[in-house]
């Protein structure tokens, strides 16, 4: 019984292992393990980016509001200073003790002096002078024109204020605040709320005369509203106690007055009821709104901007919205992807793997049959069958190509490469043919043809950077076929540098050294090539994360010495220095940094043009022919 249980357990384990190794199961598991976390991470990152973008927008609008509030504050301070100029000893004596002249004359003179004293800055408004002796209020505009109805309301306000009613328009909240000018002169501030406009007022009361300055709240709020960008929201004026006084929105300016105590002639269309305006605490509690505040008049008033978060979200870059959409779609598409991938890819691949096993076992008559679900798989099946038919002839052709390449000794002399280079290439072709990788054989052969066509060009010493980089990419592609898992390469080449002429094989020499000496067997290194222009110079860097080199070898390379070991002489970098010296004299810079097991970095800086291209080319040709 015990043995039977153990046998059943072994069968279960075996089936479980086979299930885990099943391509369909692994496809589903890998899809879920890789795609699902990536989707979650994408959603989280997208949300973070959106929050960061929203925060930056809010900070931008907050800074804009604070700057504007500071500019209004500066206007108020300027007006206060100019009032002190107006209140000289002569005027102050008349205001407090009267004069022997007619008070109407004094009022006229006060109006003229106030106008000439340049009290007003950029904010328009109203100035008034009250002759208490004759009970005459003289009101005159500053930089703006107001209606007769507004002037009548303002005069009524001032008369009722004189009778002791701090807020004659009916607002329960007292807006008046006593302040001091700092010169022993008492003044008081208040907010004058009319049905169609509002003012921030500063009143100066004296025994014989009074005068006041009133800044147009409509202009203050409208100017800030117009200066806002795409997102404007609603702009409010609020006093220091948190009472809303006026609002400016897309519907224009409106003064906020308590509904219950409006004068009979004030219609409902002319004002906003305080009962319709929520408190500041309620606005701040609303998570769908953003509230920004800027203090003016030393905090006596605040400009408040209320922005809907939905308006901010509308300004998010299209890329973020696309990421949100794609993330949602990818969650839905994950199970469909697993099913479709198994049907369209995994099943045909399984058949192809079985067919390759047959060919490896020596059955060169094996053919794949039956339609697949995709054109690509049909193409793979047909190419596999064609590969089996031509396997023998391809092997012969590859062998002949290897023989032809072995007869080119001049290549080794021109490149100064190891004599085993061609043999390594031919061995790669042979190995590929042995496993039936005809496509890679064709690719490898074409790359070699391009490689040697470039190398064997005669009388060409300077080539465009674009051609040199195409050659380097082909060279790395050749090495990638030889060492498929030993390295990865990354290129970053400035487009404007593509036509700059450089010595042929300059960059290739450093890349070749990376492959020769930098590869770490059993590991994958990274090769980074970065080329850009700066001023009139070309900056080239070739870096790898490979073996690196000892300090003594690095020191010799930095000193321009030839490296020699048991293999022979290594003159690649030495030859590069020599060619650079001939082309550019002392105008080039070459820096090498390396550390064992941490990789090597090459930094090269050369001018766009050689010192004397023609003479340098001749000198190099003479040296290479020796």
pLDDT attached to residue 135: 80
Q: Is the pLDDT of residue 143 over 50?
A: yes
For the segment 441-463, the average pLDDT, to the nearest whole number, is: 81
Quick one: fold of 488-626? Heat Shock Protein 90 (3.30.565)
Burial bucket for residue 572 (CB in 10 Å: 0-12, 13-18, 19+): buried
* Cα–Cα distance, 116 to 94 (Å, whole number): 18
* Percent of the chain clearing pLDDT 70 (strictly above): 74
Q: Is the pLDDT of residue 159 over 90?
A: no
Q: What is the pLDDT of residues 263-304, one digit of tens each?
A: 434 443 344 444 444 566 666 666 778 888 888 876 688 899
Say which residues have a Cβ less than 8 Å from residue 90's Cβ, sequence separation at least 6. Answer: none
Structure tokens at 71: 């500019």
pLDDT attached to residue 620: 44
pLDDT band at 527 (very low <50, low <70, confident <90, very high): very high
In angstroms, how far is CA 158 from the centroid of its own chain? Answer: 56
CA distances from 412 to 295, 351, 423, 572 (A): 80, 45, 12, 12
Domain-by-domain residue ranges, the chain? 2-43+318-355, 57-314, 488-626
pLDDT attached to residue 393: 62
DSSP 233-246: -EEEEEETTS-EEE
pLDDT band at 530 (very low <50, low <70, confident <90, very high): very high
* Cα–Cα distance, 328 to 324 (Å, whole number): 6
Q: Please tell me which residue, 410 or 582, carries the higher pLDDT value.
A: 582
pLDDT band at 488 (very low <50, low <70, confident <90, very high): very high
pLDDT attached to residue 166: 42
Q: Is the pLDDT of residue 606 over 90?
A: yes
* Cα–Cα distance, 165 to 79 (Å, whole number): 26
Q: Is the pLDDT of residue 104 over 50?
A: yes
Q: What is the pLDDT of residues 323-343, one digit of tens each?
A: 677 777 777 766 676 666 666
Q: Is the pLDDT of residue 509 over 90?
A: no
Instruction: Provide the residue count of the chain.
Output: 626
pTM of the model: 0.46
Q: Which of 18-32, 110-124, 572-586 has the lowest mean pLDDT?
A: 18-32
pLDDT attached to residue 334: 66
Average pLDDT over the chain, rounded to whole? 76
Q: Is the pLDDT of residue 55 over 70?
A: yes
Q: Please tell me which residue, 543 or 213, carries the higher pLDDT value.
A: 543
Beta strands 289-296 and 301-308, pairing class:
antiparallel
Q: What is the pLDDT of residues 117-132, one digit of tens each?
A: 677 778 888 888 888 7
């Amino acid at each position: 019984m015990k043995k039977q249980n153990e046998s059943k357990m072994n069968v279960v384990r075996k089936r479980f292992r086979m299930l885990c190794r099943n391509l369909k199961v692994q496809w589903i598991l890998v899809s879920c393990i890789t795609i699902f976390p990536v989707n979650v991470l994408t959603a989280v990152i997208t949300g973070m980016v959106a929050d960061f973008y929203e925060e930056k927008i809010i900070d931008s609008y907050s800074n804009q509001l604070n700057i504007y509030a500071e500019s209004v504050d500066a206007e108020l301070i300027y007006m206060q200073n100019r009032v002190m100029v107006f209140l000289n000893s002569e005027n102050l004596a008349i205001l407090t003790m009267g004069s022997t002249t007619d008070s109407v004359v004094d009022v006229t003179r006060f109006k003229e002096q106030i106008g000439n004293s340049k009290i007003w800055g950029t904010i328009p408004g109203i100035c008034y002078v009250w002759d208490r002796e004759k009970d005459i209020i003289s009101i005159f505009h500053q930089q703006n024109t107001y209606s007769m109805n507004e002037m009548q309301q303002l005069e009524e306000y001032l008369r009722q204020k004189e009778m002791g009613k701090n807020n004659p328009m009916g607002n329960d909240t007292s807006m008046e605040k006593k302040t001091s000018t700092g010169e022993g002169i008492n003044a008081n501030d208040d907010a004058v709320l009319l049905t169609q406009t509002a003012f921030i007022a500063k009143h100066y009361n004296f025994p014989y005369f009074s005068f006041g300055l009133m800044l147009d709240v409509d202009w203050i709020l409208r100017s800030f509203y117009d200066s806002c960008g795409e997102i404007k929201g609603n702009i409010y004026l609020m006093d220091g106690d948190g009472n809303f006084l006026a609002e400016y929105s897309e519907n224009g300016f409106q003064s906020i007055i308590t509904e219950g105590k409006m004068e009979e002639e004030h219609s409902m269309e002319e004002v906003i009821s305080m009962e319709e305006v929520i408190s500041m605490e309620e606005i701040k509690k609303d998570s769908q709104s953003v509230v920004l505040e800027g203090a003016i008049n030393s905090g006596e008033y605040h400009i408040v901007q209320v922005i809907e978060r939905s308006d901010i979200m509308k300004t998010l870059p299209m890329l973020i919205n696309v990421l949100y959409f794609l993330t949602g779609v990818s969650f839905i598409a994950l199970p469909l992807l697993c099913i479709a991938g198994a049907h369209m890819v995994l099943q045909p691949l399984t058949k192809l793997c079985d067919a390759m096993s047959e060919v490896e076992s020596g059955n060169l008559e094996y053919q794949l049959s039956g339609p697949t679900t995709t054109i690509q798989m049909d193409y793979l099946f047909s190419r596999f069958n064609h590969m089996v038919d031509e396997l023998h002839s391809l092997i012969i052709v590859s062998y002949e190509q290897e023989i032809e390449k072995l007869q080119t000794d001049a290549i080794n002399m021109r490149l100064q490469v190891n004599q085993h280079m061609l043999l390594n290439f031919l061995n790669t072709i042979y190995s590929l043919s042995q496993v039936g990788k005809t496509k890679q054989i064709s690719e490898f052969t074409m790359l070699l043809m391009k490689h040697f066509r470039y190398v064997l060009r005669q009388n060409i010493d300077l080539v465009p950077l674009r051609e040199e980089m195409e050659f380097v990419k082909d060279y790395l592609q050749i090495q990638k076929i030889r060492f498929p898992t030993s390295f990865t390469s990354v290129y970053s080449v400035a487009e404007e540098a593509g036509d700059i002429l450089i010595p042929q094989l300059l960059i290739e020499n450093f890349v070749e050294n990376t492959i020769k000496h930098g590869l770490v067997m059993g590991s994958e290194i990274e090769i980074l090539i970065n080329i850009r222009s700066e001023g009139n110079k070309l900056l080239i860097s070739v870096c790898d994360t490979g073996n690196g080199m000892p300090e003594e070898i690095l020191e010799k390379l930095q000193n321009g010495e030839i490296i020699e070991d048991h293999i022979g002489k290594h003159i690649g970098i030495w030859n590069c220095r020599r060619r650079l010296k001939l082309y550019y004299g002392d105008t080039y810079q070459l820096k090498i940094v390396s550390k064992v097991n941490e990789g090597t970095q090459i930094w090269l800086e050369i001018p766009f043009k050689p010192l004397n291209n023609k003479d340098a080319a001749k000198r190099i040709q003479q040296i290479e022919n020796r």
